């Protein structure tokens, strides 16, 4: 099958692939989204279910995506068309491309905030007035009409720039250097944040579950959505990345390393953010601004903290960039093949459309804040549709496809598991457990169960 696609781009090495997949997984989701969703969902009980979702649903589907991509050597839509021509499984491919547009459109808004903070720290940090503090500063910034749009545009230009250069030179290179740096910085900041006085409360909040919240279906729904979002799952980003891999690379180890590192990142980010949340008396459920309000407070309390602020927002922006790149790549890989466009032209064109699509999300936090859809602003609506609905449905179809739509022996062979106990367990999870669990979580969240 591989020789049919001669000339298709490939990763330079297995490590390069793993780092790029980690770069896709580790992003704003681990720091920005994880902390505020955990804060809004009550802490420890959510974290527990989140980890269970990663282990029991996330890792098996991640393996499924890598397996599909590497075997088919094509983009999300093309992969299903290659492996199951004429069958409805390709729906997952189209949902994936749609999710890429939606997620990147609002992702770029938040990444733009991060860029703005980075630039603020170039000159010592955001200048706040005593009354409003960092919360006031953040609120004013995101609700102003033009500034956030400028930074969102800047982020899209960077993302397009990397996808423009291509898989090996662009995506692989940038990840190798920046990810380890971000990991070190988050660890150092978590260590410092634990000395701020809110540590005990933070640990209780994150690790002592209030068991009664396990009866709340919304906690499961939020945890499932966060697991998919954080692992870049359910929309073919990892099918696309797997498609740049050759047969000789082993998949299961890569899947476990990506999921493990991603989860560790989120937990350490929690240990960085929540002690400060409690030490500064901020409400854990303050919403999407949580990191942008708490972290500048931490930097303020460190002598020379401006340097930390600068480094942090630089690395957060870089992490957002490597995830943004994987989102754009899903759409670009599809349109390139479909219309035989060049990589360069496709990246610019699709990137521009996604920027336009993201404008309402940004304005929805300011001049369009009166526009509410079922009680959510435009930004939250986009996030909700993509993360909580499209990604789990995409994941459900991917699980069913590998479990039922593909000959078992072929799937086992393509995954590198072979006919082993683990391999058979994996197929069983994809056939029964994962689809049923996703389905039940859906039904209970809409109140049917």
Residue 82 CA to residue 109 CA, distance in Å, equals 35
Does 29 help bind ligand PFF (rule: CB under 6 A)?
A: yes
Contact by Cβ (8 Å): 316, 114: yes
Q: Which is nearer to ligand PFF, 271 or 279 (CB)?
A: 271
Comparing CB distances to ligand PFF, the nearer of 194 and 434 is 434
How far apart CA 141 and CA 121 sit, in angstroms, is 15
Residue with tokens 């579950």: 209
Among 19, 20, 22, 28, indicate the residue that binds ligand PFF (CB under 6 A). 28
Q: In this chain, which stretch among 47-55, 146-154, 160-168, 227-235 interacts with ligand PFF, using CB under 6 A?
A: 227-235
Give the per-residue contact string, 316-335, with ligand PFF (x = CB under 6 A; - = no): -------x--xx--------
Contacting ligand PFF within 133-192 (CB under 6 A):
none
CB of 64 to ligand PFF, least distance (A): 15
Taking the complex as a whole, how short is the minimal distance between the CB of residue 256 and ligand PFF, in angstroms?
17
| Token code pair at residue 293 | 């309000």
Check: CB of residue 246 under 8 Å from CB of residue 2.
Answer: yes
Which residue of 37, 227, 237, 412 would you call a contact of ligand PFF, by CB under 6 A?
Answer: 237
Q: CA Rg, the chain, in Å? A: 21
> Which range, of 190-198, 226-234, 305-313, 358-366, touches ligand PFF by CB under 6 A?
226-234
Between 100 and 336, name the residue whose CB sits nearer to ligand PFF.
100
Rounded to a whole number of angstroms, the minimum distance from the CB of residue 29 to ligand PFF is: 2
Tell me how far apart the alpha carbons of residues 209 and 186 are, in angstroms, rounded to a whole number: 24
Stretch that binds ligand PFF, among 19-27, 57-65, 117-125, 338-346 (CB under 6 A): 19-27
Closer residue to ligand PFF (CB): 82 or 263: 263
Q: Please, which of residues 376-435 interact with ligand PFF by CB under 6 A?
A: none
What does the per-residue mask of binding to ligand PFF show for 98-117, with x meaning CB under 6 A? -----x--------------
In angstroms, rounded to a whole number, what is the distance separating the alpha carbons of residues 195 and 208?
Answer: 20
- Please report how close the Cβ of residue 326 comes to ligand PFF at its closest, in angstroms: 5
Q: Which is nearer to ligand PFF, 28 or 279 (CB)?
A: 28
DSSP class of residue 328 equals H
Q: Which is nearer to ligand PFF, 324 or 366 (CB)?
A: 324
Q: Of the candidates 19, 21, 23, 30, which one interacts with ligand PFF according to CB under 6 A?
A: 30
- Is 102 strand, coil or helix? helix
Residue 427, strand partner residues: none
Buried b (16+ CB within 10 A) or exposed e, 226-247: bbbbbbbbbbbbbbbbbbbbee
Measure the CA–CA gap between 178 and 334, rounded to whole angstroms.
27
Report DSSP letters for 235-298, one per residue. SSHHHHHHTT--TTS-HHHHHHHHHHHHHHHHHHHHHHHHHHHHHTT--TT--TTHHHHHHHHH
In the complex, which residues of this chain contact ligand PFF (CB under 6 A)? 24-25, 27-30, 103, 229-230, 232, 235, 237, 323, 326-327
């Amino acid at each position: 099958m591989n020789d049919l696609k001669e000339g298709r781009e490939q990763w330079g090495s297995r490590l390069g692939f793993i780092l790029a997949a980690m770069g896709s997984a580790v992003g704003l989701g681990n720091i920005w989204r994880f902390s505020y969703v955990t804060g809004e969902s009550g802490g420890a009980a959510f974290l527990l279910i989140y980890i269970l979702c990663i282990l029991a649903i996330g890792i098996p589907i991640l393996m499924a995506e890598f397996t599909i991509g590497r075997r088919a050597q094509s983009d999300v839509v093309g992969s299903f068309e290659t492996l199951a021509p004429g069958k409805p499984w390709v729906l997952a491919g189209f949902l994936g491309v749609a999710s890429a547009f939606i997620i990147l459109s609002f992702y770029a808004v938040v990444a733009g905030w991060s860029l703005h903070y980075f630039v603020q720290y170039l000159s010592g940090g955001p200048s706040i007035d005593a009354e409003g503090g960092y919360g006031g500063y953040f609120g004013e910034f995101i609700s102003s009409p033009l500034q956030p749009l400028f930074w969102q545009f800047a982020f899209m230009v960077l993302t397009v720039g990397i996808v423009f250069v291509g898989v090996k030179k662009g995506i692989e290179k940038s990840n190798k250097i920046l990810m380890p740096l971000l990991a070190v910085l988050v660890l150092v900041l978590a260590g410092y944040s634990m000395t701020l006085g809110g540590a005990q409360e933070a640990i209780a909040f994150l690790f002592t579950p209030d068991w009664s919240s396990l009866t709340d279906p919304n906690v499961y729904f939020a945890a499932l959505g966060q697991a998919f979002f954080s692992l870049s799952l359910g929309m073919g980003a990892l099918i696309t990345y797997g498609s740049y891999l050759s047969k000789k690379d082993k998949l299961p180890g890569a899947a476990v390393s990506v999921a493990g590192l991603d989860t560790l990142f989120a937990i350490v980010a929690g240990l960085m953010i929540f002690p400060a949340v409690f030490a500064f008396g901020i409400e854990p459920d303050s919403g999407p601004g949580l990191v942008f309000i708490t972290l500048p407070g931490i930097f303020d309390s460190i002598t020379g903290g401006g340097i930390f602020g600068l480094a942090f927002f630089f690395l957060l922006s870089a992490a957002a960039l490597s995830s943004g790149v994987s989102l754009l790549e899903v759409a670009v890989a599809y349109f390139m093949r479909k219309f035989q466009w060049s990589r360069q032209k496709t990246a610019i064109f699709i990137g521009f459309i996604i920027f336009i699509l993201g404008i309402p999300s940004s304005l929805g936090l300011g001049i369009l804040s009166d526009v509410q859809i079922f009680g959510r602003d435009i930004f939250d609506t986009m996030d909700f549709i993509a993360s909580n609905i499209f990604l789990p449905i995409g994941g459900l179809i991917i699980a069913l496809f590998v479990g039922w739509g593909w000959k078992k022996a072929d799937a086992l062979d393509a995954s590198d598991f072979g006919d082993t106990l683990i391999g058979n367990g994996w197929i069983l999870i994809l056939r029964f457990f994962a689809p049923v669990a996703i389905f039940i979580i859906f039904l209970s969240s809409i109140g049917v169960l």
